[in-house]
Amino acid sequence: MTRQIQFPPDFLWGVATSSYQIEGAAGEDGRGESIWDRFSHTPGKTSNGDTGDVACDHYHRYADDVDLMAALGVRAYRFSVAWPRLYPDGGTRLNRKGLDFYQRLVDRLLDRGVAPAVTLYHWDLPQALQDRGGWTNRDTVARFTHYAETLYHALGDRVGLWMTHNEPWVAGFLGNFRGVHAPGSTDLQSALRAIHHLLLSHGEAVAAYRASGQSGQIGIVLSLHPTYPVNDTQQDRAAAEGSDGYTNRWFLDPVFRASYPTDTVERFQRAGARIDFVEDGDLATMAEPTDFLGVNYYFPRRVSASGSEFGWKVKEHPDPGVPTTAIGWEITPEGLTETLVRLRADYGDMPFYVTENGAPFHDQIDPDGQVRDPARVDFLRRHFVAAQQAIEAGIDLRGYFVWSFLDNFEWAFGYTPRFGIVYVDYPTQRRIPKDSFRFYRDVIAANGLESE
Which residues are known catalytic residues? 167, 356
- Least Å distance, CB 51 to ligand IFM, is 15
Residues binding ligand IFM: number (CB under 6 A) = 8
Taking the complex as a whole, how short is the minimal distance between the CB of residue 409 and ligand IFM, in angstroms? 8
Q: What is the CA radius of gyration of the chain?
A: 21
Cβ 181 vs Cβ 39: under 8 Å: yes
Site for ligand IFM in 341-360 (CB under 6 A): 356
The helix/strand/coil state of 22 is helix
- Quote the least distance from Cβ 327 to ligand IFM, whole Å: 8
Tell which residue, 132, 34, 140, has the closest CA to residue 82. 34
Residue 167 near ligand IFM by CB under 6 A:
yes
| Shortest distance, position 64 Cβ to ligand IFM, whole Å | 22
Torsion over CA of 210, 223, 129 and 83, rounded to 10 degrees? Answer: -60
SS3 state at 295? strand
- Cα separation, 73 vs 66, in Å, equals 11
Q: DSSP per residue over 137-185, as a string?
A: STHHHHHHHHHHHHHHHHHTTT--EEEEEE-HHIIIIIHHTS-SSTT--
Determine if 80 is a binding residue for ligand IFM (CB under 6 A): no
Closest CA to 338 of 300, 287, 293, 382: 300
| Contact status: 403 vs ligand IFM (CB under 6 A) | yes
Minimum separation from the CB atom of position 292 to ligand IFM (A): 18
Per-residue binding string, ligand IFM, 412-431, x by CB under 6 A, is -------x------------
> To the nearest whole angstrom, how small is the minimum distance from the Cβ of residue 217 to ligand IFM?
21
Total Cβ atoms within 10 A of residue 368: 6
Instruction: Give yes or no for a contact between 407 and 415, defined as CB atoms under 8 angstroms apart.
Output: yes
Contact pick of 37, 330, 373, 410 for ligand IFM (by CB under 6 A):
410
Contact pattern from residue 20 through residue 49 relative to ligand IFM, giving x for each residue in contact according to CB under 6 A and a dash for the rest: -x----------------------------
Residues 255-274 that bind ligand IFM (CB under 6 A): none
Q: Which of 119, 136, 296, 436 binds ligand IFM (CB under 6 A)?
A: 296
What mask, x for binding ligand IFM by CB under 6 A, covers residues 4 to 23? --------------x--x--
Q: Which residues contact 67 (CB under 8 A, 6 or more apart)?
A: 112
Nearer to ligand IFM, 326 or 432 (CB): 326
Q: Which of 60, 102, 63, 95 is nearest to 80 (CA)?
A: 102
Applying CB under 6 A, the residues found at the interface with ligand IFM are: 18, 21, 167, 296, 356, 403, 410, 419
